[in-house]
Structure 1
Amino acid sequence: MEQNLNWLIGGEAGYGIMNAGLAFAKTLSRGGLYVFSTTEYPSLIRGGHNTVAVRASTKELNSHEKMLDILVALNHETYELHKDEVSRTGIIIYDSSKDELKAKNVVNIPLLNLAEQASNKIMRNTVALGASVALIGYDLNLLNGVLESIFSRKGNEVVEANKVAAKLGYDFAGSNHEPILKLEKQKAPKRMVLNCNDAISLGALKAGLKVFAAYPMTPGSSILHFMAKYERDMKILVKHTEDELASINTLVGAGFAGARAMTSTSGGGVALMSEGIGLAGMTETPCVIVNAQRGGPSTGLPTRQEQSDLLFMIRLGQGEFPRIVMAPGDVEEAFYETINVFNLADKYQVPAIILTDKYNYASSKSVEFFDTKNVKVERGKLLTKEEALKETDYKRYKFTKDGVSPRSIPGNPNTIFRATGNEHSEYGDITEDPVNRVNITEKRLRKLQGILKDIKNPVKLHGPENAKLTVVGWGSTKGPILEAIEGLDVNFLQVLYPWPFPKEEVEKVLKNSKNVLLVEGNATAQLGQLIKEQTGIEIQEQLLKFNGHQFYPHEIRTKIKEVL
């Protein structure tokens, strides 16, 4: 029998909202349930309204949902903002330390008083976790195990104090209220709880990352934090640079020296990096740039959701040069396709962009452990020391059929060449010769044909091939779309690699489609524009959202029913 729970905790920044959400998700996951959690927070260091929503189910989850079974309100603002999202059978856990609410669905628990009884008022979130576990009939020992893993680095005293706080909340709720449902532990393999930024980081490390350089910019900053945390363990170089210009130029230098290199930022940071990315394009130096999108332009919405950088990434930089753009839709794609992106960047000696966003960063889900037994690191035409020593007339930018030239790294006496941002000859010498300009530009652009052939699944078709409706989307819309089309005669065309544009694959699906609906998190239907430009197919039905928040599955499902 399927079991489901939708839980949300809210309060001010500084209340431990994020830690509580993570702990609750891990508790449910360790009990064998699938979980999906997502966070919302303003661009403030302290204060403002912060939430973490956690869904749990006996079936795999791909998105968040709006209607709640349990709302944990650590302040009155949370109650007022979310009380209408609680289902008819749901409850609200309210901190009644100072005042009680009389609403029928409110469970008044003196969270602050119980936290002070445990030893510290900041443990109010842990008391709420204990109460939540009791009200779903779950195992407190699972929560205790998670508290140990989270707080062990702070010492046994902190661990035990949190356990006491959880027990007080558990006992109070259990003694005064009946559980609203009973979630049962499931027999299931151990799973990880990850977000896409974590998965990108792990994928980069598995791909052989050696240099990571970044200036922090939300929502890409957590990749820098991840890399800094594991720098010594993984024997990589991590640089917190003074700005985005320094980080991209560090990447170009590292790539020139033969090291796999990556940075993470958001759209504003990529804007500053555009000249450096152009340098990578001109010098044919591989590097990987993670753009975790947020609302723009300028500073825009630093902590909110948007998918408005797609065309920017495809047209990035002055002049014309090949690049790769990959937009993962979930944690698994973020891991496996990051490895693929590194291999493609090396093989074709181009900059590659991983285009994710705030929803992908702020959403964690339980996934099986990654299968890495078939993972390969492919460096392309990177000359070995022995091959370099055999060179007698080395042309770093040699004209080749596939556009890719033999690449050498500094230190080989027979493969010395000039690397410059100016246009150059096959040897790297600066030249403005018009014939050479045409030949070397065409050489660089020929790489796009090879990249297209090498990408195994640039698009994915989810659902029946001959459905009544095809939904088209990319990136983080994947999860909400998949949940929205469940049980309907609808399929989903996911564009995983928007560039080089997979024209044949997209045309094949859309020409076979009876009706088409475009779903994007921007105001101008950027993927729709790209599809029209590349195929001539204009998608008339569109669902666009650009209010700073992600799609709910029910919003997409409602639009689908309108179209059908």
Structure 2
Amino acid sequence: MPSEISVRITGEAGQGTQTIGDALSHIFKSAGYHLFAYQDFMSRIRGGNNFFEIRVATKPVHAPRRKPDIIICLDKSSVDIHKKDLAIDGILIVDQTKFRLPGLEESMYDVAFNEIALRVANDALYVNSIACGLIAGLAGLDFAFVEQGIQAVFDRKSKDIIQNNLNSARAGFDLGLKNPRKKMFLLPVISKDRLTDKAGEILLDGSSAIALGAVHAGCKFYTAYPMSPSTNIMNIVAEHAAREHIIVEQAEDEIAAINMAIGASFAGSRAMTSTSGGGFCLMTEGLSLAGMTETPIVMVDAQRPGPATGFPTRTEQADLDFVLSAGHGEFARVVYAPGSAKQAYDLTMKAFNIAEKYQIPVIILTDQHLQDSATDAQAPDQDNTAAERFIISKEESAGITSYKRYALTDSGISPRAIPSWIQDVMYVDSDEHDEAGHITEDAEMRKQMVQKRLYKKLHGLLQELEQPTSFNTKDARVILLGFGSTLGILQEAALALEKSKVGFVHLPQVWPFPSEEMLKLLSGARMIISIENNAQGQLARLLRRETGIKVGKSILKYDGRPFDIDSVIEIIKRELEL
């Protein structure tokens, strides 16, 4: 009996791979299993080849496998493309009533999805639910969990549609139970205690986590120009807009988006914008403006492969160098790089607090893999979160008759008031300015303002670093190093090779760089291997620049696809000669 299985659903865009994947994810979550789900899709509405893959296990899982145990092919081209990826003893499920294959090989399982859908629900659209039921039957689940999953996905549909989906799922489920190879995929039954513990869990992806973090942090103005893979953050914030009194504005371009956000923040709202690398290029002038005017703003760069348009729907970690130095001039900034949906939520909350406290731009650096991957997680508890505000209150402001927006202080942080609350004119300018905000070309004042915006704020920011996550680093033979979405790969690889003295260090914050902590964690390592989704090993270079520590080997992937855990473990074993 396996402790985990991986299922891939593949077909053309528009055939429902995401619908099947979403439903299966809810079904397995309802049954108490841990799961990791991700999508691979082309930049087109119809045609091509997409897939949705779910890894289901009795223990937490955080990364994809190389070879799925079950592949459902919804069209003929999917068989040709994905057949080579099938695990040994896996099965390839096809519908030969839709397309004929030269010969039904031993690994293939013929299921007449279309005929069953027409017979049970009088509509071929219900093929998706048949596939869900089939997988649940092969895994030996109770049909009650299938019902829960179907209800969760189709809860906004009519009763008739929901019932047709349930009937179709039941037909597929019965087929799965009868399959002679079912024993290869039967998962252990989850205990009642575990089901009780999972009652408060949800399926959480990176986009939802960031959106919820923004809403719970008190974001009141969200503006963006749609650019994959960041767009879904805006969509989810918009769903909460009416209830939470949030203004959501789809701007005409990224230049307008960041400047709108800066204006909203200047007026006192917590403001956020999101984009991908190409849009971030357009935002850099606004980023520099936020740095000069000391206006707090939260930005998301959801990375995708570039340069230029690149791969709009795929993943990469190649913007690290870019976001560290984007925007002309020198000013303080923070760059977070969450490695999981939970970290994405927590760091988005923190981003708003840090941005307002230090009056700086804070960048959340994610990528398509993190944005679109989902896992089982505890639902964020808004009652346990606190949105700190660092603004002079309206009552205090009423007594201010002489206001210096850029007053020089030991911390570099000036008292921040809201325009119209104070009994004085507030001056803010993108030119160099004095304490009152008036334009100046005085050399000494320039020097003091640079120190205020940069060094003094950095001193405070270094006290509030999000420290690296680490495991098994003491006396480690090898330490794996990464940032952002590679966290799951680092965790699973280090755990699998723990007895071979393999540990990991993951950075959820890449700027300001946690140099002191990294020196402590890595100085005794016999070998460091960086694992990065870019072509140059940008984190490895940053580590050497900030600490002098040189990485011994880099495992780099830049084909637009995420790492799989099996390939990474193989490379590490070869390096260790295991």
TM-score bin (small chain): over 0.9
Q: Deviations over 1:77-118 (max 9, x none)?
A: 221222222222221111121335511121100111222222
Q: Are residues 1:396 and 2:399 paired?
A: no
Counterpart residue number, 1:182: 186
Matched residue of 2:260: which SS?
helix
Asked whether the 8 Å contact 1:525–1:544 carries over to 2, the reply is yes
Aligned partners of 1:96 and 1:111 also within 8 Å: no
Correspondence for 1:106 among 108, 111, 122: 108
Q: 1:30: Cα distance to partner?
A: 0.5
**Distance apart, 1:279 and its partner CA:** 1.1
Which residue is 2:315 aligned to? 305
Which range is displaced more, 105-114 or 551-560?
Answer: 551-560
Matched, 1:407 2:413: no
- TM-superposed CA distance for 1:200, in Å, is 0.9
From 417, 433, 440, the counterpart of 2:426: 417
Structure 2 match to 1:229: 239
- SS of 1:531's equivalent in the other structure is helix
1:433-472 mapped onto 2 (5 Å cutoff)? 433-445=442-454, 446-455=456-465, 457-472=466-481
Q: Do the aligned partners of 2:481 and 2:490 also contact (CA within 8 Å) in 1?
A: no
Partner residue in 2 for 1:349? 359
Number of the residue aligned with 1:13 = 13
CA distance in 2, matches of 1:77, 1:156: 35
* Contact 2:527–2:551 (8 Å) recurs in 1: no
Find the residue that maps to 2:362 and give its secondary structure: strand
1:298 positional shift: 0.5
Q: Cα deviation per residue 1:259-306 (whole Å; 9 max; x = unaligned)?
A: 111111101111111111111111111110111100011001111111
**For 1:356, what is the secondary structure of its paired residue?**
strand
Q: Structure 1: which amino acid aligns with 2:104?
A: K
Partner of 2:503: 491
Please state how far the C-alpha of 1:177 moved relative to its aligned partner: 4.2
2:482 counterpart of 1:473: yes
Counterpart position of 1:153: 156
Distance (Å, rounded) in 1 between the aligned partners of 2:473 and 2:160? 55
Pick the aligned partner of 1:314 from 324, 335, 338.
324
1:38-437 residue pairs with structure 2 within 5 A?
A: 38-98=38-98, 99=100, 101-117=103-119, 118-175=121-178, 177-179=180-182, 180-183=184-187, 184-187=189-192, 188=194, 189-190=198-199, 191-380=201-390, 382-437=391-446
CA contact (8 A) 1:458 1:496 kept: yes
Per the alignment, residue 565 of structure 2 pairs with: 553
Distance 1:71 1:163 in 2: 22
The amino acid that maps onto 2:185 is: L
SS of the counterpart of 1:300?
A: coil
SS at match of 1:481: helix
Distance in 2, matches of 1:150 and 1:509, equals 44
> Match of 1:550, as an amino acid?
P
Distance apart, 1:208 and its partner CA:
0.9
Contact 1:2 1:58 in 2 (8 A): no
Structure 1 unaligned regions, length at least 5: none
1:415 shift after superposition? 4.4
Change (3 A) 1:504 1:411: same
TM superposition shift of 1:147: 1.7
Q: Distance in 1 between matches of 2:234 and 2:11?
A: 27
5+ residue gaps in structure 2? Answer: none
- 2:399–2:422 Cα contact (<8 Å) kept: no
Q: Quick one: percent identity of the two aligned structures?
A: 37
Deviations 1:16-57 (A, max 9, x none): 111110110110010000011010001111111110100111
1:428-485 per-residue CA deviation (whole Å, 9 max, x = no partner) reads 1111221111110111012111011022x33121234221111111001110121112
Q: Is the CA contact 1:218–1:266 (under 8 Å) kept in the aligned structure 2? A: yes
Partners of 1:369 and 1:2 in 2: how far apart?
28
Q: Map Cα deviations across residues 291-343 of structure 1 (whole Å, 9 max, x no partner).
A: 11000110011111110000100101111111110000001111111111111
Give the number of aligned pairs: 562
The residue number in structure 2 matching 1:532 is 544
Query: For residues 378-414 of structure 1, what are the alpha-carbon distances to aligned partners after superposition, in whole Å with 9 as ceiling and x for unaligned?
Result: 223x101122223243110011111100001111232
Q: Specify the SS of the correspondent of 2:7.
A: strand
TM-score (norm 2): 0.94
**C-alpha distance in 1, partners of 2:87/2:329?**
54
